[in-house]
Amino acid sequence: MTLLETERVAVSPLRRGAEPRRRGPGLTGYLFVAGYVLLLLAFGVFPTCYSFYLALTNDQGQFTGLNQFVKVAQDYRFVPAFTHMLIYLVMWLVVLVVLVVLVAVVLRSRVRPGTSAVFRFLYYIPGALAGVASVLVWLFMLDPDVSPVSWLLNSMGMHSFAAVLTPGNLPLILMLIAFWTGAGGWMVVMYGALNNIPDEVLEAARMDGAGPWRTAWHIQIPMIRQWIVYMTIMAFATGTQLFVEPQLLQTASLGRVSPTWSPNQLAFVYAFQQGDFNGAAAISVFLLVLGLIAAGLLVARSNLFKLDEK
């Protein structure tokens, strides 16, 4: 075979439109994810496995099956704690999804681009505060003696800090704290998702006579549905971990708020006041299973990970 024929054979696959061989993930890719994988194993997978081990054994390390789960479920504080958390979650998720999506849509369609950046920054500021700092700010806001909105609290019949922190008000108070600290970041995320919608699609809707609200309901919101589901899953997972806010309210109210108001508080009492780490682990597994079930239902009903067909 001549040199010319050899060159012709070598280049002929490319001339016929054959794709070059794709390279697999190189060392750079593995190094890129190595840090995350190590942290996930150290602070996610291993603690979860250890929690299951504790929940299925006693303090002697002997396998006890579901005894720990039965024990904590029969505790008189178990049902109220989970009931409080579920009431809070329903309020928190409904308000979060509705208001975050609404504000993001209005910000995207009604506010000028230069001004929207200022609004996004202002929305995000509360999220930059740590949970403890946020609760301290709200303790100041909720005390009728020093609050700048004391007139509003007094008009609602709340003339003292104790009246504000009655058990029936706690889900609403905790929802307001959570919304104030967490909603701004999600507004920025939803605004970014709305920006990914092609302008041609929105222009076509306007040409068909769709107003801003019809465009939002029939086009924008359906096209960012996966982001809304993702936000709901993450907010649900965060809500089940409720601990800092009711714990600080319990301390500030001098015991008027129950120290086992949320499941995480109950697990804390089991572990560090009763010395029962196995029971605390069983409560944490209950929370994990609840979160996995909720996330699984949302993913299955929304096709969150379904690839777009081309």
CATH number of the domain encompassing residue 151: 1.10.3720.10
- The pLDDT value recorded for residue 266 is 95
Is residue 218 included in any domain, yes or no?
yes
- H, E, C per residue of the chain: CCHHHHHHHHHHHHHCCCCCCCCCCCHHHHHHHHHHHHHHHHHHHHHHHHHHHHHCECCCCCECCCHHHHHHHCCCCHHHHHHHHHHHHHHHHHHHHHHHHHHHHHHHHHCCHHHHHHHHHHHHHHHHCCHHHHHHHHHHHHCCCCCCCHHHHHHCCCCCHHHHCCHHHHHHHHHHHHHHHHHHHHHHHHHHHHHCCCHHHHHHHHHCCCCHHHHHHHHHHHHCHHHHHHHHHHHHHHHHCCCHHHHHHHHHCCCCCCCCCCHHHHHHHHHHCCCCHHHHHHHHHHHHHHHHHHHHHHHHHHCCCCCCCC
Domain-located, residue 142: yes
State the pLDDT confidence band at 15, using cuts at 50, 70 and 90: very low
Asked if the structure places residue 59 within a domain, the reply is no
Q: Domain for residue 154, yes or no?
A: yes
Domain span at residue 200 reads 84-274
Tens of pLDDT, residue by residue over 250-262, are 887 777 888 999 9
Identify the residue with better confidence: 249 or 37: 37
**Average pLDDT of the chain, as a whole number:** 82
Segment 78-130, tens digit of pLDDT: 999 999 999 999 999 999 999 999 988 887 776 665 565 666 666 666 655 55
Residue 183 forms part of a structural domain: yes
Count structural domains, the chain.
1
- 158 inside domain: yes
Q: Is residue 42 part of a domain?
A: no
Q: Is residue 244 part of a domain?
A: yes
